[in-house]
Structure 1
Amino acid sequence: MRHFFGLTFTTLLLTTAFTLSAQNRPFEFGLKAGLNRSSLALNNDLPSAKFGFNIGLTATANFSKNFFLQSGLSLSMKGAKIEGKAPIGFPGWALVAGQDAQLISNQLYLQAPVYLGYKIALTPGTKLVLSAGPYVAYGLGGKTKLTGDIIYGDMIDHGTIEEQTFGNRGLQRLDLGIGTGIGVDFGQTVVGFTYEVGLRDIRPQSDTYFPFYVSSYKNRNASLFVDYKF
C-alpha cells in the first residue's frame, strides 16, 4: 500500500510539473495557415484586392507569461487585381489598357517575420495577443496577366499578354516591410488577424516591361490565420 501511495504521489508530481511546463514552455513550435487579401500601393493608389493563401511553420520564444518573440517561415500568395484604364509601360512608350482591361498580378513569396508580442488575460484559458515587427520576403514565382483592349500608339488590339512576375524584366524579388497582428490565444490554438505594409519599392530596376507599372510598387496584405502549437 505504501508503494502504491508513493507511486500515486510521484505520478501527481510529474503530472503537475508537466502541466506547468506546458503552460510556461520557453519555446513553442506551430503550424500556421490563413487567407490573404493582398493588393499593391501604386503612387498612393490602391488597386482591387486579390485573395490568396499562406501556410508555414512558427517558432516562439516565451520570455515570460506575457512577452514573446515569434518568427517562422511560410509560403504566402500575394498580388493585386487591377481593372479599368491605367497606364502601363515606361516613359516615351506607354501602353494604355482600355476600359475593359483586367490585370492580375500573382506573387508567391517565401516569407519570414519577426514579431514581438504581448498577451493579456481575458478569461481563464484565453488571452488577447498583440504583436508587431518587421518581415522579409523573397519572390519565388508567379505570373502577371493583362486581358483587354490594349492601345499601341494609334493601334488597338484585344487580347491577353502574360509575363513572369519576377525576373530580369519583372518585379524585384526581395521585399521588406512591417506588420502588426491581433488575435485570441486559446492555449494550443491562436486565431487572429495581421496586416502587412511593404516598405520597399519592388518595381523593375531595368526598363519597365509590359505589363509592369512605372509607379512605386509596394505590397499590402491583410490575413486571417490559425496558428496551432505542437
Structure 2
Amino acid sequence: MRSKIILLSIILATASAKAQYFQFEVGGGLAKHYGPSKVVGSYKIGVGYEYEFNQKWTFNPQISFYGKGWKKPDETMLVFNEDGTPMMNVETGEQYTTVKSVSSTAYYLEIPLLVNYYIRTAPSQYIVLSAGPYAAIGVGGKQKTKGDSDATGARRLYYTEKTFDIEGAHRFDAGLQVGAGFQFANGLTLGAEADFGLLNVKSGGSKNVSALVSLTYKLGK
C-alpha cells in the first residue's frame, strides 16, 4: 500500500508539472571501487525527461548506458613449474616472480531518479544542483588478467573473462548520484557528477564509485 501511495504521488506531481523537457547527456571520467583499487576510464550516454514544478525545482528521471570499471592493485606472485615445483633462477638461486595485473570493465543500464534545484544567475542561466537514487543492471564487460602464475598454459600470460559471469559477481547495483552544473541560455549544461554505489557488486565487499564531466542538452529551451 505504501509503495502504491508513493507511486501515485509521483504520477500526480509529474502530471501537475508546469513544463517538461527532453534531454540528451554524454559524459566521461574515471571509475573504481572503494578502497585500494586503481582508477580506469568511465563514460556514459543517456536520455532523460525533466518535469518542471516551478522555476527552482524539477524531477528528472533518466536512462543511461554507463561504462564503469576498476583495476586491482598489482600483486607480486611466485612462479611455479607445471608440476608444482618452484621455478628457480639458476644464476641467483632465487625463485622467479611475476606481477599479476587484473583490470575490469562493467557496462550498466542505469536509471537515476534525480531532483534538480536551479539557482538563477542571469536571464535563462542557472547553477543546477542534483541528487537522487539510481538503480542499475549489468549488461556486459570484460576482466583482463596478466601474469597469473596460478593459471596453466598460455593463461599464465593473459586471459579474459566476462565480468558478470565470474563467480561472486552481482549484476544489480544501486546507490546515490549527485551533481552540479551550469546551464547556459541555449539549454546546454556543463556539469560534474558522481555515483556512489551502496551495494556490493561482487563478493568481498566491493562497491562502485565514479566521477564524470558531462554535457547535457535540453530540448525546448
Q: TM-score, normalised by structure 2?
A: 0.75
Letter of the 1:123 partner, please give it: A
Distance in 1 between residues matched to 2:56 and 2:68, nearest whole Å? 32
SS at match of 1:114: strand
Cross-structure match for 2:23: 30
Q: Deviations over 1:93-116 (max 9, x none)?
A: xxxxx7622211110100010111
Residue 102 of structure 2 is aligned to residue 103 of structure 1? yes
Aligned length: 180
The 5 Å alignment of 1:166-181 reads: 166-167=164-165, 169=167, 171-181=169-179
The 5 Å alignment of 1:139-158 reads: 139-151=138-150, 158=156
* Residue number among 38, 48, 61 corresponding to 1:58 in the alignment: 48
Letter of the 2:31 partner, please give it: S
Cross-structure match for 1:11: none
Cross-structure match for 1:190: 189
Structure 1: any 5+ residue segments left out of the alignment?
1-23, 88-97, 205-214
Contact between 1:167 and 1:173, CA under 8 Å: does it hold in 2?
no
Distance in 1 between residues matched to 2:70 and 2:192, nearest whole Å? 19
Cross-structure match for 2:84: none
Residue 212 of structure 2 is aligned to residue 223 of structure 1? yes
Name whichever of 70-79 and 115-124 sits farther off: 115-124
Structure 2: any 5+ residue segments left out of the alignment?
1-16, 78-96
* Residue number among 57, 66, 87 corresponding to 1:76 in the alignment: 66
SS at match of 1:65: coil
Following superposition, the deviation at residue 86 of structure 1 comes to 7.8
Q: Which has the higher strand share?
A: 1
Following superposition, the deviation at residue 79 of structure 1 comes to 0.5
Q: Deviations over 1:156-211 (max 9, x none)?
A: x841131110136251111000011000011311110111110011215xxxxxxx
Distance in 1 between residues matched to 2:140 and 2:188, nearest whole Å? 31
Alignment root-mean-square deviation, CA: 2.1
Cross-structure match for 1:161: 159
Following superposition, the deviation at residue 141 of structure 1 comes to 0.5
Distance in 1 between residues matched to 2:145 and 2:166, nearest whole Å? 19
Distance in 1 between residues matched to 2:175 and 2:122, nearest whole Å? 33
1:86–1:227 CA distance, 2 compared to 1 (3 A): farther
Letter of the 2:68 partner, please give it: K
Cross-structure match for 1:117: 116
Distance in 1 between residues matched to 2:76 and 2:33, nearest whole Å? 14
Contact between 1:193 and 1:225, CA under 8 Å: does it hold in 2?
yes
1:79–1:100 CA distance, 2 compared to 1 (3 A): same
Distance in 2 between residues matched to 1:168 and 1:82, nearest whole Å? 15
User: Percent of counterpart pairs with the same letter?
Assistant: 27
SS at match of 1:101: strand
The 5 Å alignment of 1:124-135 reads: 124-135=123-134
Distance in 2 between residues matched to 1:163 and 1:218, nearest whole Å? 20
Following superposition, the deviation at residue 125 of structure 1 comes to 3.0
Distance in 1 between residues matched to 2:98 and 2:36, nearest whole Å? 17
